[in-house]
A and B are shown apart, each in its own frame.
Chain A
């Protein structure tokens, strides 16, 4: 069973809708026991990192998430919370991925913040990107991003490179929104659902 972590950070519907389209059954939950029994866990998130981190702590999920052994996918803020820290609200995060999350500061002043729209991913690694072509377009909307690190499995360049996706052990994360990335995103979600 797939568990989508419901920790009151706004809209879970887009992830839920994407799972429906993928034909997957899932439950929305913040119950630690349900998360421990799950076959897959998705940690979505929109909003601000430090308050999202606080909401995880209020529910005791900061202690539970790092102990999970099933495949876990963090999306956007959900991925950032799995990193070491975030400059947004000066948040200490869960430290699963060895990367800091920093404000995007593109070298080219014509590049606007937030980074919103369709951008390309490259250097694709791991089965999360099986059958996804190099330089495929995915949908982004963010102002902060994880730096490049040994756990980086995809990169995007926006006036400087950042981690488009991360992987360590059973944990995966995407800064982009696979649930809003058309056929490419659907493929990535399907890949996550069939990871061994």
Chain B
């Protein structure tokens, strides 16, 4: 039976892992390749590396890092952050990434999803969506949640799938960094789409992850700080999910 996936997310700036609360107050948590290898050996099902470098040099460093990750890590990994063209995606594929995520650039230019999917296949493109509620409506945001857009979450998610997204990674900016749990009803509605849904942003304990994988119907849960700071070691999390009857790879 297909297992629910547990995905640690590593934010990378200038080649180093960082994690901040609400994308601010960043602090360093370790070497990306070593940290990824540690997670893989602990039973992570996949890894996500997001480049949050602001500089051109930071982005070049990231591509070199992707090559080193691919050489070392024997589970799938996804990379994202600042991918704005088919060429950007192709460069990361060449460097060894299994998938890319696009976010702000796809909102600005939705045809980017079609272009990447038709060149490299839907399995290669994950559309990441950040959204927050405004007057009870989910508004898609860009630039780490700072800029609201005209788009609404569910219609944008559907459009992304129709354009070729192979998976949807949704982060609630209302919940990200709060450790109060995920918006499960919203995930359950997203999961009506015919592609896997990755839940991100808000996990503070095992109950939250169990809920989003069951009530929220998510196919995967992505988290950062609970893993980086060893608050919930992956083996403990997976054993407990298994004990609760959730199908995970042990």
In the complex the two chains form, is A180's CB within 8 Å of B93's CB? no
Q: In whole angstroms, how far apart are the Cα atoms of A186 and B121 in the complex? A: 26
Among candidates B5, B40, B121, B194, residue contacting A113 with C-beta atoms closer than 8 Å: B194
Segment at the interface with B among A34-42, A114-122, A123-131, A165-173: A114-122
Q: In whole angstroms, how far apart are the Cα atoms of A181 and B72 in the complex? A: 13
B70 partner residues in chain A, CB cutoff 8 A = 13-14, 17
What class of interface size applies to chain A in its complex with B? 35 or more
Least Cβ–Cβ distance between B110 and chain A, in angstroms: 21
Least Cβ–Cβ distance between A187 and chain B, in angstroms: 11
In the complex the two chains form, is B2's CB within 8 Å of A118's CB? yes
Least Cβ–Cβ distance between B165 and chain A, in angstroms: 12
Known contacts A114-B166, A117-B45, A186-B74; A10/B194 CB under 8 A:
no
Least Cβ–Cβ distance between A85 and chain B, in angstroms: 21
Q: Which of A1-28 contact B (CB under 8 A)?
A: 10-11, 13-14, 17-18, 20-21
B40 partner residues in chain A, CB cutoff 8 A = 182
Q: Which of A95-124 contact B (CB under 8 A)?
A: 111-120
Among candidates B72, B74, B95, residue contacting A180 with C-beta atoms closer than 8 Å: B74
In the complex the two chains form, is B1's CB within 8 Å of A182's CB? no
In the complex the two chains form, is A117's CB within 8 Å of B196's CB? yes
In the complex the two chains form, is B98's CB within 8 Å of A180's CB? yes
- Which of B1, B93, B122 has the most chain A CB atoms inside 10 A of its CB? B1
Known contacts A139-B76, A158-B2; A118/B194 CB under 8 A:
no
Q: In whole angstroms, how far apart are the Cα atoms of A141 and B45 in the complex? A: 13
Mask: chain B, 68-105; 1 = CB below 8 Å from A; 0 = not: 00111011100000000000000001111010000000
Query: What secondary structure prevails in chain B residues at the interface with A?
Result: loop
Known contacts A14-B96, A112-B219, A114-B123; A139/B1 CB under 8 A:
no
In the complex the two chains form, is B74's CB within 8 Å of A18's CB? yes
Cβ-based interface call for B18 (8 A): no
In the complex the two chains form, is A10's CB within 8 Å of B93's CB? yes
Known contacts A21-B74, A180-B74, A182-B75; A119/B121 CB under 8 A:
no
For residue B194, which residue of chain A has the nearest CB?
A: A112
Known contacts A116-B166, A119-B1, A141-B123; A11/B219 CB under 8 A:
no
Least Cβ–Cβ distance between A138 and chain B, in angstroms: 10
Q: In whole angstroms, how far apart are the Cα atoms of A120 and B2 in the complex? A: 7
Q: In whole angstroms, how far apart are the Cα atoms of A13 and B69 in the complex? A: 12
Cβ-based interface call for B11 (8 A): no
Least Cβ–Cβ distance between B194 and chain A, in angstroms: 6
Cβ-based interface call for B195 (8 A): yes
B5 partner residues in chain A, CB cutoff 8 A = 117-118
B120 partner residues in chain A, CB cutoff 8 A = 10
A-B contacts, 14 of them at CB < 8 A, read: A17-B71, A18-B74, A20-B71, A21-B72, A48-B121, A112-B194, A112-B195, A113-B194, A114-B166, A117-B3, A117-B196, A118-B45, A119-B2, A179-B74
User: What 3 pairs across the A-B complex have the smallest Cβ distances?
Assistant: A137-B249, A118-B3, A118-B249
A residues neighboring B (CB under 8 Å): 10-11, 13-14, 17-18, 20-21, 46-48, 111-120, 137, 139, 141-142, 157-158, 177, 179-183, 185-186
B residues neighboring A (CB under 8 Å): 1-3, 5, 40, 45, 70-72, 74-76, 93-96, 98, 120-123, 166-167, 194-196, 219-220, 249
